[in-house]
A and B are shown apart, each in its own frame.
Chain A
Amino acid sequence: MKESNEALFRYCLRIGDTSLILGHRVSEWCGHAPILEEDIAMANIALDLIGQTKIILNYAGELEGEGRTGDDLAYRRDARDFYNLLMVEQPNGDFAVTMMRQYLVSSYMFLLYSKLRNSTDKTISAFAEKSLKEVAYHVRYSGDWVVRLGDGTEESHQKAQSALDQLWFFVDDMFDADETDMLMFEKGIGADIKSLRIDWNNMIEPKIKEAKLVIPEANNFMRMGSRSGNHTEHLGYILAEMQFLPRAYPDATW
């Protein structure tokens, strides 16, 4: 693989793995949501995310040029070769954790894809254009719930604040730019992560305030590592479940 392709390959894995693992987590709710309408909405979000995963992982396979498909990449890699954001592999917890995680990550995706719309790579820009419409809905949906829960009852407020506190450990990981990010930005393919962070803060702060919640102190401990495939312990279990059939029956097609 050419060096530039290799960086783009890895860049695609980061985007695709993040969609895939978040989609997996959201789909775990199916049939168990607090309200039937939320069941429908969350299945819809999971479906969008799996659709996005297909596009970007198939493209990653093409870039690699070794005949791997999106399915091969999703189902035949082990945890250390996954590059999803640490935030998305965190367990669903209660509905407040799920909505907060969705809001924080969907806002990130929304801003990232807004920039990637102008990517010099045509597949990336088309992907971003398509995904942006879907992600805009995910932001609105989860943001509305963050506000309702934060400004609902005393109990829901506490749960929403607790969700924000526990997920905040994984915020810096989202913006932990490395040489791949730099290279992609320089080539006009990827986004500038530094400005993304500023935009993200500006986007979420008013919403968190509207929800009557408080953003944790900046100097707290931050867990990082997704750019180099260093994960929390949760990812292994997700993959064990998700990859079970193709791993158990390696010669089968489905």
Chain B
Amino acid sequence: MEATITEAQLEKEFQQKIDSGIVIEPKDWMPERYRKQLIRMMSQHAHSEVVGMLPEGNWITRAPSLDRKAILLAKVQDEAGHGLYIYSATETLGIDRAEMMEQLHTGKAKYSSIFNYPTQNWADIGAIGWLVDGAAIINQTALAKCSYGPYSRAMIRICKEENFHNKQGYQILAYLMRGTKEQQEMAQDAMNRWWWPSLMMFGPSDANSPNSAELMRWKVKLHSNDDLRQRFIDRTVPQAEAIGLTIPDDKLRWNPDTRHYDWGEINWDEFYAVISGNGPCNHERMSARVGAHEKGRWVREAAAAYAQKHLN
């Protein structure tokens, strides 16, 4: 009985800290469920960075100029760095990277559904930078103020780089829209394919988001999925118009009363199909990750053996 009371007291004090805006650090007491939820969210975030290297990495060898190639390389390298950074931040919660990788490879842990779509033309690289990283920035700017210190600090740093990614993606598309008819078609085709999946990145509608209430109470989440999605739409529509891209939503229009854009309906069947493993590229992405891990096993073993031999 006494332990239960203590636990309840601790939890009360924890909530008071959260409510008064005190940041939680790794060595502070935290409810087991807070720890688990953060591990789930942060590892999913780290996995998304790493799996996200694949669709973009797909175009590095075909980037159409030396500058574009260098920029894309730097960008994908940043994503790997973000993955590493967030894995390390997650390790402060008492799980190691090997276990997180195992969870990814066995399908226990998820990653962002957006990376299960294929990059079919060069404009897709622009669309990923502009739309996908744009959506990520909206999410991450909110997470930068979350209650867990290591996650919040990681987000502050990562957002700076994501802003650069966002600009380079938009610039790719702006160039294409100023270019030949074929280039303009390429850009519009990418817009058509990436718009709705980008909106899905914010997750289920609030009514169907099982974790939201708890996460908001703990200030892990500060805004609802729908609020963040609307923020993204409001920010992105004028950018599309500025370079002549059409957003594939015939219900989209400015609402002067709400001062937001009204828009259509997400195909939630598609969203749930993709997160449950049946998106266009789920199999390719997972087999690429698992394949790299398996093919690299002898390399990791060699490094460990060498380190063991030369311990002194």
Knowing A24-B61, A251-B180, A254-B68 are in contact, say whether A95-B309 is a contact too (CB < 8 A): no
Q: Which of B9-53 contact A (CB under 8 A)?
A: 50, 53
Main secondary structure of the interface of B (DSSP, over half): helix
State in angstroms the CA–CA spacing of A155 and B54 once bound together: 28
Q: Which of B155-183 contact A (CB under 8 A)?
A: 172, 175-176, 179-180, 182-183
Establish whether residues B70 and A254, one from each chain, have CB atoms under 8 Å apart when the complex forms: no
Establish whether residues A33 and B73, one from each chain, have CB atoms under 8 Å apart when the complex forms: no
| Cross-interface CB contact of A254 among B175, B291, B301, B309, cutoff 8 Å | B175
Confirm or deny: B80 has a beta carbon within 8 angstroms of a beta carbon on chain A.
yes
Establish whether residues A148 and B303, one from each chain, have CB atoms under 8 Å apart when the complex forms: yes
Establish whether residues A32 and B73, one from each chain, have CB atoms under 8 Å apart when the complex forms: no
State in angstroms the CA–CA spacing of A36 and B46 once bound together: 11
| Cross-interface CB contact of B301 among A24, A156, A242, cutoff 8 Å | A156
Establish whether residues A148 and B302, one from each chain, have CB atoms under 8 Å apart when the complex forms: yes
| Cross-interface CB contact of B69 among A32, A40, A50, A244, cutoff 8 Å | A50
Q: Which of A103-126 contact B (CB under 8 A)?
A: none
Establish whether residues A35 and B183, one from each chain, have CB atoms under 8 Å apart when the complex forms: no
Confirm or deny: B66 has a beta carbon within 8 angstroms of a beta carbon on chain A.
yes
Establish whether residues B80 and A148, one from each chain, have CB atoms under 8 Å apart when the complex forms: no
* Chain A proximity mask over B60-85: 1 for CB below 8 Å, otherwise 0: 11111111111001101100110110
Q: Give chain B nearest CB distance to A216 CB in angstroms.
A: 22
Q: Give chain A nearest CB distance to B208 CB in angstroms.
A: 32
* Chain A proximity mask over B259-288: 1 for CB below 8 Å, otherwise 0: 000000000000000000000000000001
Confirm or deny: A202 has a beta carbon within 8 angstroms of a beta carbon on chain B.
no
Establish whether residues B309 and A151, one from each chain, have CB atoms under 8 Å apart when the complex forms: yes
B298 CB contacts on chain A under 8 angstroms: 153, 155-156, 159
* Chain B proximity mask over A119-163: 1 for CB below 8 Å, otherwise 0: 000000000000000000000000000011101110110010000
Confirm or deny: A183 has a beta carbon within 8 angstroms of a beta carbon on chain B.
no
A50 CB contacts on chain B under 8 angstroms: 66, 69-70, 73
| Cross-interface CB contact of A34 among B61, B70, B300, cutoff 8 Å | B300
Q: List 20 A-B contacts (CB under 8 A).
A: A31-B53, A34-B293, A34-B297, A35-B303, A36-B50, A39-B53, A39-B80, A43-B77, A47-B77, A94-B295, A147-B306, A153-B305, A155-B298, A155-B301, A241-B62, A242-B62, A245-B122, A252-B64, A253-B175, A254-B122
